Amino acid sequence: MQNPLLNFNALPEFAKICPEHVKPALSQLLDGANAALERVVSNDIAPDYDAMSGVLNVATERLGRAWGAVSHIHAVVDTPELRAAYTEMLPAVTEFFTRRGSDERLFAKYRALETAQGPSLSAPRQQALRHDLRDFVLGGAQLTGGAKERFAQIAERSAELAQQFSEHVMDATDGFAYYASEEELDGLPVDAKQAALEAAQKEEKTGGKLTLHFPSYFPVMQYAHSQDLRERMHRAYVTRASELGNPKHDNSAIMQELLELRQEEAQLLGYANYAQVSLASKMAQSPEQVLSFLRDLAERALPYAKRDLQELRTFAAQELSIADLQPWDQAYASEKLREQRYAFSDEELRQYFTEPRVLQGLINIIETLFDVKIVADEAQVWHPDARFYRIERCGELIGQFYTDLYARTGKRPGAWMDDVRGRWLRPDGQLQTPVAQIVCNFTPPLPGKTALLSHDDVTTLFHEFGHALHHMLTQVSDSGVAGISGVEWDAVELPSQFMENFCWEWEVLQKLTAHVETDQTLPRELFDKMLAAKNFQSGLQTMRQLEFSIFDMRLHAENDSANRISEVIAEVRRETSILPPAPFNRFQHSFSHIFAGGYSAGYYSYKWAEVLSADAWAAFEEAGVFDASTANRYRQEILERGGSRDAADNFKAFRGRAPTVDALLRHQGMSDSLS
Ligand code: ZN
């Protein structure tokens, strides 16, 4: 019988893929990819774009596509057998792509290709080649002898340290529990209180068990009336994995070593610091540019943050008898202030957002804006909840996508867009159209009822569709720079965040909403409340994000930072903190994004992409939200270009100028005059 993972002529046969298919298929594809790699570096293959792509890209694209299908079903319909098959093959797949990325023979071949054909290649191919060459250099392919060995050691040791860092954070989080008396739990919402009582009961203890896991910790900070309890929990939370907690979980030495290794790696690669290495493949040009971007925003957000804090202090003193607001009072007082100001519940809003209406409304928006038709289509799916659609323009197939919207067991939490395959003019002359999958974890409908979405869910759905459109509407046919491929990390959220804006437009919401019982559209009064609540404390929130971003960038841009982590964070806080953190705050010791995630010298990306998407949206506000020529320009200059042109150039071509922060500040209520 044919292994479904080896059928590349059609869409993935999701319903037929079984755990026992994984190893044989992936082993065969890995062998094929390895053979292709050996062949492409040999003298048999000329340094010619088509010849090289015809051998290597065909093999690696198949490997990537089959592995993508396995990863996908592992994420959405997991079983112990499937997880075992996935885990068994993961190291070999990762190893292949790492090795391919640093193979010096292949690097030499690409350089020969650049010499032979560089200037005569099409613009997208030149861009793909530039990316390849850059990634070889960043992957250490240029290094020789001892330097190469050291580079590999650094990579291995860094991975180990990052793993230890997150384990320490996890163990420190797990290692704390506080058994509160019932009286101390006063103020907690019923479900949070119930969960605490049950957790204690299970261990045959009295009162309620509180932990540092978010679902337990956060309601305490937000709702517990006891200031002592909040302080106790806050202290435990912000000292996790630091020298102030269990010495077994102290991350101090790991952070220092990681920063030293990153600095050493940068120097091996010929850069002055690690921030430059990180930015080499991003839209932002230099650490200095990022820092001045962040500081400019900080300067402009600061007066609003001060106002937010002043309001909070006054409210806390007058209404909550908290005379001197402390860090552990902030979430509590904020929640009380929010409740007092904007009285509406998420539940009330949910009644207006039924899934079929929202999805149809979203499809209509896409059809209107981007001159396409979206119709239901047939394909094998992995679960009865999954749906399949096709996108056409003038009757011609452009792309297809799956949706899988509801939470269930065996499905990874969160929401994401992933590519099933990319647009590609294959070496055999066939044009492969792109296929995407959009996965969410909304609350499933009750039996026989229509599913209701929260406004957050709706925004998430629009966000993921933004990524999917970026992937599917591309007109670039070279793998590596078509759709989302090759798009700079700090620009990739532009199309997704852009789509979120529709969820805040009165005109749009009229089309997306119909009360589940009365069929009425969203009332204006409720909309006004949503809008008012949207920017609650945006000044304070912005300053907090900026504090993390500046800290991250400075750590990686200053080559002596490893020995002065606590000094750097203290300096950054003097610059950005409105409410001084407690002296025992060791936030940095659990900052996994930069010490154990992919965000080192990249945390600023959140704000950076927000600026891009807000400024792009402003063009629609200026011309009218459904203005056809603006939408055309957006599609042609940003969505269709994918990674084939630098994001900065895409933006400029669309907007006629470089991005500015004004639109973001305005959208977040930080441009009105302060009284
Ligand atoms: Zn996203």
Checking if the pLDDT of 562 tops 80, the result is: yes
Helix axes 330-341, 524-534, angle to 10 degrees: 160
Identify the band that residue 183 occupies on the pLDDT scale cut at 50, 70 and 90.
very high
What is the DSSP-derived secondary structure letter of residue 675?
Answer: -
pLDDT per position as a tens digit, 47-89: 999 999 999 999 999 999 999 999 999 999 999 999 999 999 9
What is the CA(497)–ligand 1 centre distance, in A? 7
Question: Phi/psi at 600 (nearest 5 deg)?
Answer: -60, 130
What is the CA(467)–ligand 1 centre distance, in A? 7
Burial call 492-511: b when 16+ CB within 10 Å, e when fewer: bbbbbbbbbbbbbbeebbeb
Checking if the pLDDT of 344 tops 90, the result is: no
Identify the band that residue 157 occupies on the pLDDT scale cut at 50, 70 and 90.
very high
What is the CA(466)–ligand 1 centre distance, in A? 8
pLDDT per position as a tens digit, 297-332: 999 999 999 999 999 999 999 999 999 999 999 999
Question: Phi/psi at 77 (nearest 5 deg)?
Answer: -140, 60
**Residue listed under structure tokens 């040009």:** 285
Checking if the pLDDT of 231 tops 90, the result is: yes
Checking if the pLDDT of 558 tops 80, the result is: yes
Identify the band that residue 673 occupies on the pLDDT scale cut at 50, 70 and 90.
confident
Q: In 3D, which of 331, 258, 300 has the Cα closest to residue 537?
A: 331
What is the CA(494)–ligand 1 centre distance, in A? 8
What is the CA(495)–ligand 1 centre distance, in A? 9
Q: Residue 675: its pLDDT value, please? A: 59
Beta partners for residue 403, in sequence order: 387, 438
What is the CA(463)–ligand 1 centre distance, in A? 6
Higher pLDDT, 314 or 163: 314
Percent of the chain with pLDDT strictly greater than 90:
89
Q: Classify burial at 300, counting beta carbons within 10 Å of its beta carbon; exposed 0-12, middle 13-18, buried 19 or more.
A: middle
Identify the band that residue 1 occupies on the pLDDT scale cut at 50, 70 and 90.
low
Higher pLDDT, 269 or 409: 269
Dist. CA 60–CA 480, nearest whole Å: 11
Report CA dihedral (38, 40, 46, 51) to the nearest 10 degrees.
Answer: 150
Residue 85 · residue 22 · CB < 8 Å: yes
Average pLDDT over residues 231-239: 97
Average pLDDT over residues 182-186: 95
Average pLDDT over residues 405-417: 90
Q: How many CB atoms lie within 10 A of CB 646?
A: 16
Identify the band that residue 211 occupies on the pLDDT scale cut at 50, 70 and 90.
very high
Q: Is the dihedral of CA 572, 575, 579, 583 positive or negative?
A: positive
Checking if the pLDDT of 672 tops 90, the result is: no
What is the CA(464)–ligand 1 centre distance, in A? 6
What is the CA(72)–ligand 1 centre distance, in A? 17
Residue 5 · residue 26 · CB < 8 Å: yes
Q: Classify burial at 663, counting beta carbons within 10 Å of its beta carbon; exposed 0-12, middle 13-18, buried 19 or more.
A: buried
What is the CA(269)–ligand 1 centre distance, in A? 30
Average pLDDT over residues 526-549: 93
Average pLDDT over residues 367-375: 97
Dist. CA 54–CA 59, nearest whole Å: 8
Identify the band that residue 149 occupies on the pLDDT scale cut at 50, 70 and 90.
very high
What is the CA(493)–ligand 1 centre distance, in A? 5
What is the CA(293)–ligand 1 centre distance, in A? 22
End-to-end CA distance of the chain: 75
Q: Residue 523: its pLDDT value, please? A: 95
Dist. CA 501–CA 508, nearest whole Å: 10
**Token pair in block for residue 558:** 């200053």
Active site residues: 464
Residue-wise DSSP of 436-485: EEEEEEEPPPPTTS--B--HHHHHHHHHHHHHHHHHHS----STTTSTTT
Q: Residue 284: its pLDDT value, please? A: 96
Average pLDDT over residues 140-164: 92
What is the CA(397)–ligand 1 centre distance, in A? 25
Domains in the chain and their CATH numbers?
4-121 (1.20.1050), 175-238 (no CATH), 355-532 (1.10.1370.40)
Torsion-angle region of 131 (φ positive above 0: left; ψ -120 to 50: alpha; else: beta) = alpha
Dist. CA 505–CA 528, nearest whole Å: 11
What is the DSSP-derived secondary structure letter of residue 489?
Answer: T
Dist. CA 18–CA 24, nearest whole Å: 11
What is the CA(253)–ligand 1 centre distance, in A? 33
Higher pLDDT, 580 or 465: 465
Residue 325 · residue 316 · CB < 8 Å: yes
Report CA dihedral (228, 230, 236, 239) to the nearest 10 degrees.
Answer: -110
Distance of CA 524 to the CA centre of its chain: 32
What is the CA(492)–ligand 1 centre distance, in A? 8
Dist. CA 330–CA 16, nearest whole Å: 52
Identify the band that residue 413 occupies on the pLDDT scale cut at 50, 70 and 90.
confident
Identify the band that residue 597 occupies on the pLDDT scale cut at 50, 70 and 90.
confident
CA angle 568, 569, 572 (to 5 degrees): 90
Checking if the pLDDT of 465 tops 90, the result is: yes
What is the CA(131)–ligand 1 centre distance, in A? 22
What is the CA(597)–ligand 1 centre distance, in A? 16
Cα dist from 294 to 8, 515, 543, 553, whole Å = 46, 42, 10, 10
Dist. CA 528–CA 250, nearest whole Å: 47
